[in-house]
């Protein structure tokens, strides 16, 4: 990371032009969840519940992506870190294709955003490669979109705008596939 204090040596270190100084297109509010591709949700339960101690929340099928998704939470209920385990329901699922190529494992990181449609428009205009130019439906009524992994240094990046339902507990509604 540029401008890292660890590497700053003396007065020549300049605080100018850090990435944070550039107007932020995504303006992520936080990490919404971490997506993990698995062959079988059932086979993963023991690890996530008994080994990690994560709380199982629910399973939802997202037909548009041909996946079953299990959600786990860690930490305080109102500010939990969520894990989204994705199991393909068809060989045509993008998750099945991912597992075939790269095996099970980390699939994507999702960031909470507001105004996802406006963000995508601004990203597109800025020349950032997108998988989804328009938001689509994720789990729990959220709106989601993926940036191209080549636009985000090899990490598949999801933007997630949780469903607004009148309370401020957006994080618990922010799951997406
Ligand atoms: Zn996701």
pLDDT score recorded for residue 21: 45
CATH code matching the domain that covers 19-161, chosen among 2.60.40.10, 3.30.413.10, 3.10.180.10, 3.90.1150.110: 3.10.180.10
- Residue by residue, pLDDT tens for the chain (177 residues) are 444 555 544 455 455 545 554 568 888 899 999 999 999 999 999 999 999 999 999 999 988 889 999 999 999 988 889 999 999 999 999 999 999 999 999 999 999 999 999 999 999 999 999 999 999 988 888 999 999 988 888 899 999 999 886 444 444 444 445
Beta bridge partners of 32: none
Compute, in angstroms, the gap from residue 159 CA to the centroid of ligand 1: 8
Contacts with 92 (C-beta within 8 Å, 6 or more apart), sequence order: 66
> How much is the pTM?
0.77
Compute, in angstroms, the gap from residue 176 CA to the centroid of ligand 1: 5
Compute, in angstroms, the gap from residue 84 CA to the centroid of ligand 1: 6
């Amino acid at each position: 990371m540029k401008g890292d204090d660890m590497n700053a040596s003396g007065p020549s270190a300049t605080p100018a032009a850090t990435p944070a100084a550039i107007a932020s297109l995504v303006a992520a509010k936080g990490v919404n969840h971490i997506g993990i591709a698995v062959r079988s949700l059932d086979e993963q339960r023991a690890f996530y519940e008994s080994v990690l101690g994560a709380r199982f929340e629910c399973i939802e099928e997202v037909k548009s992506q041909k996946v079953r998704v299990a959600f786990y939470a860690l930490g305080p209920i109102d500010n939990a870190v969520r894990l989204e385990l994705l199991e393909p329901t068809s060989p045509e699922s993008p998750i099945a294709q991912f597992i075939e190529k790269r095996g099970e494992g980390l699939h994507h990181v999702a960031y909470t955003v507001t105004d996802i449609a406006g963000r995508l428009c601004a990203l597109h205009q800025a020349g950032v490669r997108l998988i989804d130019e328009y938001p689509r439906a994720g789990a729990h009524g959220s709106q989601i979109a993926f940036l191209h992994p080549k636009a985000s240094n090899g990490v598949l990046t999801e933007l997630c705008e949780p469903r607004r339902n009148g309370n401020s507990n957006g994080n618990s509604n922010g799951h997406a596939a």
